[in-house]
A = this chain, B = another copy of it.
């Protein structure tokens, strides 16, 4: 049996696996030290009462012959899809039919698997730094080409730097591409695009027949006016964009697993001879063949996120995390570091002090402050010299972590 050799081209471990390895090694060597993780973007607040109540009820349904549920519809139950269409889109004056929403076990699966319906020949562009899943999954499918270890770049990927120099607003690609991944509010930088800035991308994509993969996993953290909650707020976006949404950060579902993907009916891809094909239909085929639906219990929990009580409880949690973000931002700024994000996102992106590399500063934070952050270089070449902190920690831990950092000699 022959393996997919593209896997062999992947450099080292997946970022978070590497962090976890270093953290574990430190913990084993220093069992007396309390390590605080502001690294991986995992939540710490419990599920909202509205969600757990809905899940308890769903379990009771599953416990009775009269009300038990077997296989779920491949793309999700109507009750959840209706709640999504109404609350996440109609509330922003965007109309969708139920068949345009695909509920899944999470955005990581969807952003990873979406490539199944793309030709290997597509030229891919990503912002840099970038959520590694976009790049690694394209690499696994042969669309990234070969990895240059020294340059820390894949030779077929078009990188769009987003750094303090350009205010974290990437330029349009200077060469022709077929697919662009955009994530706003951005992971890892915590920065956003305004409606006008996103419109530049939509217009570019319309003109050049480019597909935008828009990851809006952090939409719930937007606090400022004029920051789009969905790419479909921009006119024409339905013709060229897939949007990914997640309950992970919105409602603390990282361990519950639910997200959804929007594929508008009017969105089309091309075959080699130039015929158009509905991506919505291709994705339905993919999901009905390789996926068997999202757990009923989980979908009932997700539905409860949109209830009156659920919305209120979720908002309290988001506010809590945004206050953490403010604490981290202010504390890092007090040390003299240059800090970005944290206003419309749970991520704070900071320049490493004293010319340290991302991993050097990661190790310094781990060894001297017992704080785990995420090295910017792990998100791509342009992330070198930065480090990411997340606002998902407990308040007491967040406060203790920033106090320790303030005491460091930077």
Chain A residues proximal to chain B, CB less than 8 Å: 1-5, 7-8, 10, 14, 16-17, 40, 42-47, 49, 52, 55-56, 59-60, 62-65, 68-72, 105-106, 108-109, 112-113, 116-122, 132-133, 136-137, 140, 178-179, 209-211, 252, 254-257, 269-272, 277, 279, 282, 285-286, 288-298, 394
Contact = CB atoms under 8 A, between A and B. Distances in A.
Given A17-B288, A291-B112, A295-B257, A271 B44 contact: no
Given A3-B269, A255-B295, 4 more contacts: A2-B122, A4-B117, A4-B118, A56-B59
Contacts of A279: 3
A17 B254 CA distance: 31
A72 B133 contact: no
20 contacts: A1-B270, A2-B122, A2-B178, A3-B117, A4-B120, A7-B282, A14-B289, A16-B288, A17-B288, A46-B63, A52-B62, A70-B254, A70-B255, A71-B254, A109-B290, A109-B291, A136-B289, A140-B289, A255-B293, A256-B295
A326 B183 CA distance: 55
B5 A272 contact: yes
Contacts of A46: 62-65, 68
A344 B224 CA distance: 61
Nearest to A133: B289
A272 B14 contact: no
A377 B50 CA distance: 47
Contacts of A295: 105, 255-257, 295, 298
Contacts of A55: 59, 297
Contacts of A43: 70
Contacts of A71: 40, 42, 254-255
Which one of A4, A62, A272, A277 has the highest number of Cβ atoms from chain B below 10 Å of its Cβ?
Answer: A4
A288 B118 CA distance: 21
Contacts of A296: 255-256
B292 A257 contact: yes
Contact of A257 (B45, B282, B289, B293): B293
A137 B5 contact: no
A62 B272 contact: no
A59 to B, nearest CB: 5
A40 B73 CA distance: 13
B3 A133 contact: no
A296 to B, nearest CB: 5
B179 A140 contact: no
A106 B292 contact: yes
Contact of A47 (B68, B133, B286, B292): B68
A5 B271 contact: yes
Nearest to A136: B289
Given A118-B1, A279-B3, A14 B288 contact: yes
Contacts of A17: 288
Contacts of A119: 2-5
Contacts of A290: 108-109, 112-113, 133, 137, 140
Nearest to A46: B68
Contacts of A394: 65
B62 A47 contact: yes
A281 B123 CA distance: 28
A270 B14 contact: no
A289 to B, nearest CB: 5
A263 B162 CA distance: 40
Given A47-B68, A137-B290, A290-B108, A1 B178 contact: yes
Contacts of A211: 1
Contacts of A70: 42-44, 252, 254-255
